[in-house]
A and B are shown apart, each in its own frame.
Chain A
Amino acid sequence: MTSPSPVLEAEQRAWRYWFTDGLTNLMVGVSTLLMALCLLYTPRWPPAPVSMALWLTALVLYVVMGARHREIVQWLKTKITYPRAGYVQSPYSEDPICSANLVTVSLTGARAAPPEEVQRAHSSRRTRMFLMLGLVMLASLGMLTIHERWVWAAAGIMIGAAMWLARNNYRLSWIVPVGFPFVGLYITIFVASPGAPPAYFLAGWGVLFLLDGGMKLIRFILQNPAPKVTTA
């Protein structure tokens, strides 16, 4: 096996830098948990004002976090990441497919084309991402169409495999790919009430990403202490 060229290595380090602080995963975790809460606590008719207000707040927060994912992460990075470890261009503006994955699309055509080996790396990432999305969509289709309890365990295994494929691209720790089969198995065995499994699955999804992102953020902050502010 040959080692990557310095250019490719620098490109990969710059790409991974976006994910090292765990903020992206924390955002995914929080928004997925909000979605799960909305599903779990859908107000019944006639709705109580408090529960309706809480439900609407969670729903609005979920929509805002989905639509403004990039801006929120960028804002958090200006507070936490850049002052501690510096700024490098985010992968969003380099690779439009990445943006498409995370809802917002940013196409900056004015930039010079990346070198050939970097383009090859982008293409390989894209292939892996399509494989991941394919597996997630297949699992989602199964969860929607097959009304058997074992389908949650199978979906957990499939999404775990998808996350395993994505773990290098998005700097996922082992918690996420290993955790999904357990979430699926838990729902298959313990969650019996109809309608509840999708919400529990999403909640498990959110918790896994929160754990992953939270651990990464703590590690990042410990490894990169805040710069000392000198006052004149």
Chain B
Amino acid sequence: MPMLEVKDIHKSYCKVEILKGVSFAMEKEQTKVIIGPSGTGKSTLLRCINQLSPPDKGEVWLDGEEITSRKTDINVVREKIGFVFQEFNLFTHLTALRNVSIGLEKVKKIEKEAARKRAMEELQRVGLEKQAEQYPAQLSGGQKQRVGIARALAMDPDIILFDEPTSALDPELIGDVLDVMKSLAGKVAMLVVTHEMGFARNVADEIIFMEGGVIVEQGPPKEMFTNAKTQRAREFLGRIGALYGGD
């Protein structure tokens, strides 16, 4: 049984159907990268998985539990699904350390000192122990995103969803964030929406190519980059590879 299973997800906004039946599965500690043109529903798909925007139709299963079911306590499920945002969304009134520890304290009900200690470990993991007492507005974009990743990691999630984590960053800051993500590969499952082809090629176990609200093709990076079956995937990968670098 796969750890995460997405079955026939449909989602519309204002009568426009964004997702038109998306299904895929993920195993424990796997890394999958979702690519595709903008407006294809990649971010919407991530938000349907952790129920930030519940799907209109279809099911999401995590660890053998249907989380789209009404009986599921979504707050408990969300502890197991980390989310890293394009715009970071750090809590602006809290230090880097408190950004990471607040979930432990308020959601996992861990005692304050223990939570701080754990948060510090996560900040060390992303190389930001020196910035622990700084506020988000005092951090660079890359540092903010690494705090965002530490915040997700601290909750011990089964899977982390990354919604274009490097798209809002200056080019020279992208590397640090990608390095942190690479270091997580194989330790926690990651589902990453990104245009970073180098990351997709080197880190992903599988690439999912989406267009027009459906999955057009999926497969291991090697196959996808060298001989994708569909014409559209080949075109897209060729064009985006030239833009964002194949390696």
Q: Do A and B bind each other?
A: no
